[in-house]
Amino acid sequence: MPYSLEYQSELVTAAGYLREAAALTGQPTLRSFLEKRAAAFASNDYYASDVAWMDLASTIEPTIGPYEVYEDYWFNYKAAFEAFITVVDAAETAKLGRFNGELQGLEDRLPIDKRFRRAKLGAYAPLRVVNVVFSAGDGNAGVQAAAYNLPNDERVVAEKGSKRIMLRNYQKAKFEKVLAPIGARVLAPADAALVDFDSFFTHALMHELMHGLGPQTIEVGGRATTVRQELKELNGLLEEAKADVSGLWALQQLVDKGVLPKAQERGFYVTFLASTLRTLRFGATEAHARGMALQLNYLMDAGAVHVDAGGRLAVDFGKVRAAVAGLTHEIMTVQATGDYAKARDWIGRMQVIRPEIQRLIDTLTDLPVDIRPEFVTANSLDPP
């Protein structure tokens, strides 16, 4: 049953609010998106409004509609509704704009068979750094997003690319309240000293950028299909793991090229390692946490991460680069071939939390698992 029928009353109400907002704004692209998204609530066809969202260029950056499929444990097909109402941070957005020019070069150097790389990415890949003023639905359920990469419609991605939204105020709160305290406890002292917000923020950015790279539309047995369709309920887990580890791979490429400073190289790896423990605490059923367990176990098996004599985690900088490239290759090859059976077997073996890691997690019980935002401005407004 389409949402447009099952939730017709709610969606008619929501569409009315979007049209009211469209009438109030003087920003043409914002008006266009709101009007087209309101129409999509009735038609259940989101293509035109997704394209309008890609073209959005306004001081307010709203994301409203059915996007993420993590809650669908059958096939990862059914999307949940969410809303993020944000204000663009123009200065921070301008700082990160240089990364867009690197994407095709990264795609061309992905550590996978050349036939699995895309000769031409979507022509447009906007990047926005924003601060959240309100979120709702799937956008405010459980673990809070630090960033997101949308739309998920492969047709729009092929035509327009995808947009990366970085939630800076959420990321800052996550780093200060959760990640930095975790790093101080679980990492070897020399590594803990290198954990910093800039490395966390830049890796989160690269994570979102890498969602748009690698296999998406594929061919299996002569049949045109998508990674999402072939990997079903495993897709979300593997896609998050891909974005994480290939994001690290990409940061190393940009350091080597001189786009990022060499002095930041080790900080990327150790901040990511601290963040693995942060993510594992999200729970055994959460896609990001399951994907992180796979990554950490692979890196430990490769000798890139080890537990030191004091029981803390440390990075082996002589091995981590090759291990990150190797894991990127493994995940993207499974995606490119749409090999569901291999993915299920591999994930089943690699998503466990090992005893030495569980012991470290058990030392963190007094720290928050995540932030819980309070929308002071929104809560002060009179309800409609």
Residue range 276-307, pLDDT digits in tens: 999 999 886 777 888 899 999 999 999 999 99
Tokens describing residue 64: 């409203």
Distance, in Å, from the CA atom of 75 to the CA atom of 93, rounded to the nearest integer, reads 35
Distance, in Å, from the CA atom of 113 to the CA atom of 228, rounded to the nearest integer, reads 20
Sign, CA dihedral 282-206-268-181, equals negative
Distance, in Å, from the CA atom of 248 to the CA atom of 242, rounded to the nearest integer, reads 10
Residue in this structure with the two tokens 């990047």, named with its chain if needed:
127
Q: Is the pLDDT reported for residue 384 higher than 60?
A: no
Of the candidates 355, 357, 273, 356, the residue with the CA atom closest to the CA atom of residue 314: 273
Q: Is the pLDDT reported for residue 262 higher than 70?
A: yes
DSSP state of 262: G
Q: Is the pLDDT reported for residue 159 higher than 90?
A: no
Pairing status of strand 163-167 against strand 127-137? parallel
Mean pLDDT of the chain: 92
Confidence of residue 122 (pLDDT cuts 50, 70, 90): low
Distance, in Å, from the CA atom of 168 to the CA atom of 202, rounded to the nearest integer, reads 11
Name which residue leads in pLDDT, 149 or 355: 355
pTM of this prediction? Answer: 0.83
Distance, in Å, from the CA atom of 276 to the CA atom of 291, rounded to the nearest integer, reads 10
Average pLDDT over residues 31-37: 98
Name the CA dihedral angle for 72, 226, 154, 114, rounded to a multiple of 10 degrees.
130
Tokens describing residue 225: 């299909």
Quote the pLDDT of residue 257: 96
214 Ramachandran zone, left/alpha/beta (phi>0; psi -120 to 50): left
The amino acid occupying position 100 is N
Longest dimension (CA), the chain: 64
Name which residue leads in pLDDT, 289 or 269: 269
Quote the pLDDT of residue 123: 59
Domains of the chain: which residue ranges?
A: 105-125+168-369
Of the candidates 64, 335, 82, 63, the residue with the CA atom closest to the CA atom of residue 211: 335
Residues 6 or more apart in contact with residue 308 via CB below 8 angstroms:
188, 314
